[in-house]
Structure 1
Amino acid sequence: MSDDLAKRAAELSTALRDLHKALIHAEAGDDPAYANPYTLLFDVIGNPRFAWLESLSQLIVVLDEARADKENFSAEILADAARSAGRLIGEGEDHDAPFRLRHLMAVQNAPDVAIATGKLRAALVRLT
């Protein structure tokens, strides 16, 4: 994997993880039960309240696993990940409508989500 490809993949991965974190905190809101980070972790894993984040979680895992395989990581894999990320936040005609709706609600209610979304969009632009 070239240094440039590795740098662009790392930027996308970081932007996706930052959005994921912001969305988790936005979904948790001010619920006092989530003051305990272990409660939050277990609910992110198993509570239906957070299930809508699964597609983003899976994208992060797929991208990071692919990045770890430096010999086989390619520009095509990165482009696929970028397209998947774009679909999640509403880019393209085949976007993920259920995720997009929840994402838009979070953008309106949580400035951290809006900032993380902007960083992801900027990363996606640099990949094109």
Structure 2
Amino acid sequence: MNDHPLPKLRNQLLSLHKILMVAERAMYEKEGNVIQSPNHFLQLLMSDERFAWLRELSQLIVMIDEAMEEKPPITRERADALVDEAKLLLTGNNQAGTFSKRYAVLVQRVPSIAAANAEIEKHFGPPVVP
């Protein structure tokens, strides 16, 4: 597993998640909403429908973390499947309300998200067929 891109991909997804949270928070506050504290923001992330789309990425990061801690160590096939899952999440499903639809809009509008996306896409091979 040392030569597999999964650990690096996980770190890049975590950085992307932070960038997305900052961007979403800025848009939320620009609309006149007030976030009173970090704890209030955490509550919004966990329970407000506005932020629900971010939970899909959170769940994927947790799945990768759990897989990398498995005993015996994660197989290459399982690691490849998680990379494919990330690819599908970021590029594969443009139905209304899904992560990838909202994400695609932000990739076009926010340069830091586009840059993070470009780095992550380096881990993806040919298109994933769901």
TM over 0.5: same fold? yes
TM-score, scaled relative to structure 2:
0.79
Consecutive unaligned residues in structure 1, runs of 5 or more:
none
Counterparts of 1:80 and 1:19 in 2: how far apart (Å)? 20
* Aligned AA (2:99): F
Look up the SS of the partner of 2:73 in the other structure.
coil
* Contact persistence 2:6–2:83 (CA under 8 A): no
Match of 1:86 in 2: 87
**Residues 16-55 of structure 1 mapped to structure 2, 5 A cutoff:** 16-30=13-27, 31=29, 33-34=34-35, 36-55=37-56
TM-score normalized by structure 1? Answer: 0.80
Structure 1 residue aligned with 2:73 = 72
| Structure-2 residue corresponding to 1:4 | 3
Shift of the alpha carbon at 1:70?
4.6
Residues 101 and 9 of structure 1: CA distance in aligned 2, closer, same or farther (over 3 Å): same
Over the aligned positions, Cα root-mean-square deviation in angstroms equals: 1.9
Identity, % of aligned positions: 31
Larger helix percent? 1
* Deviation beyond 4 Å, 4+ runs, structure 1: none
Distance 2:70 2:36 in 1: 37
The answer to whether 1:116 aligns with 2:126 is no
AA aligned to 1:118 is A
Task: State how many pairs are aligned.
Answer: 118
Cα distance, 1:124–1:70 mapped onto 2, change above 3 Å: farther
Q: Say whether the 8 Å CA contact 1:33–1:39 is kept in structure 2.
A: no
Alpha-carbon distance, 1:23 to partner: 1.3
